[in-house]
Structures are given as C-alpha cells and as structure tokens.
C-alpha cells in the first residue's frame, strides 16, 4: 500500500488525502513533523516538503499536484474529467486553490518564524490582497457541486478548511456564497470530512 507522508494541518496534504478517499485508493497515512526534518521525509523528498506519496516500489511522488495526477491515473480518471475543457477547468480551480494556500502559508510563516518586531506588515497585506481577490472571484461564482466532483472542488474545500483553521472569522466576511458552498460540500461528501485541515 502506498504511504502518504503528511501533516493534518497542511492544506496540500488535506487535498491529497481527500482525493485518495474520493478515488477509493487506500493509502497508509504517516504523520510527519517537517520542522524535525526526519530521515524518512528527506529520503523521499530532499526538499523536506509534504505531502509525499511513497509508492510500493519505493519511488516517491512529491508536490500535491503531481500526486493528484498520479492518483487520477491509478483510479482511471476518478479525479479529473476526460473532456479537455472540463479537465482544464478542474486544473485551473486546483491551481487557484493552491495559490490561495501559498499566500496563506506565506503569512503564517512570516508570523511564525520572525520575531514580532521584524514581521513585515506590507508583505502580510500584499498576500491578503491576493487571497481576497481570489476568494471574491470564487464567491461571485462558486464552482458547481455535481455528484462527480473533481480535484478542483476538493482542492478548494481543503483550502477553505485551512483558511478556517488559520484565519477564522476573517476570510468569511462578505463571502456568504462561498461559506455556504463549503457547508454544502460537507453535506454532500461527508466521507471526505476527515481529510479537511484540523
């Protein structure tokens, strides 16, 4: 069984866990503390980043988008549509959700790794401006939630879960359609809830 090196608070790990669940692919979950740089992680990904999917033959797949593509091939297209236009739509939504997470994590690390007097407020504001623009776009036109969802919807739900974990009460303001979308996602796909960042 493939092993997934992950952290429960990582939105990228969450996306991959939810994608594996949705695709019906069993993975052995291995929690990792990246700050400790364990040998198992560095051996699988010299960048020391998670998630990493370690295959049965010992090969490693790292970067969440490479992993979701691999899971899609393993599941014979359970995660991405075959139609090129619909697939592109799913890939773009996944990229947008991941981009929001990139900005949010940048803010978290800025505060976590610098002494308070050295935290660069203009950087935080710039990242939040990017997040806000993306969330406003998604709120104006939330993605559909058909019976057969894609990695795009899964990535967005993982992203919103991460924002709720780190920026609760801030990201939701004025975005009722997007918060209702997340609630509907959870109602329609309760089996994926364990994968949401916590």
> For residue 184, is it within any domain?
yes
Alpha carbons 120 and 123: distance in angstroms, whole number: 6
Among 74, 106, 122, which residue terminates a domain? 74
Same domain, 117 and 178: yes
Going by C-alpha positions, the residue among 51, 18, 9 that lies closest to residue 151 is 18
Contacts of 93 (CB under 8 A, 6+ apart): 143, 150, 152, 153, 155, 156
CA distances from 1 to 4, 8, 58, 106 (A): 10, 20, 11, 33
Cβ atoms of 62 and 45 closer than 8 Å? yes
Whole-structure pTM value? 0.96
pLDDT tens sequence for the chain (198 residues):
999 999 999 999 999 999 999 999 999 999 999 989 999 999 999 999 999 999 999 999 999 999 999 999 999 999 999 999 999 999 999 999 999 999 999 999 999 999 999 999 999 999 999 999 999 999 999 999 999 999 999 999 999 999 999 999 999 999 999 999 999 999 999 999 988 887
> Whole domain around residue 129: which residue ranges?
84-190
Domain harbouring 52, CATH code: 3.40.30.10
- Residue 14: predicted pLDDT: 97
């Amino acid at each position: 069984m493939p092993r997934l090196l992950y952290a429960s608070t990582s939105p990228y790990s969450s996306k991959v866990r939810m994608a594996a669940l949705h695709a019906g692919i069993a993975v052995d979950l291995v929690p990792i503390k990246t700050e400790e740089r364990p040998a198992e992680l560095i051996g699988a990904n010299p960048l020391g980043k998670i998630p990493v999917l370690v295959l049965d033959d010992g090969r490693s797949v790292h970067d969440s988008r490479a992993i979701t593509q691999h899971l899609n091939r393993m599941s014979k297209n359970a995660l991405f549509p075959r139609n090129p236009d619909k697939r592109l739509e799913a890939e773009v939504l996944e990229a947008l959700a991941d981009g929001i997470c990139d900005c949010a994590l940048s803010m978290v690390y800025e505060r976590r790794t610098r002494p308070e007097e050295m935290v660069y407020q203009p950087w935080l504001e710039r990242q939040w401006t990017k997040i806000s623009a993306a969330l406003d776009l998604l709120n104006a036109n939330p993605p559909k939630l058909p019976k057969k969802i894609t990695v795009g919807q899964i990535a967005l739900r993982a992203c919103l879960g991460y924002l709720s974990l780190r920026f609760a009460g801030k990201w939701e303001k004025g975005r009722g359609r997007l918060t209702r979308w997340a609630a509907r996602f959870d109602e329609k796909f309760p089996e994926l809830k364990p994968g949401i960042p916590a």
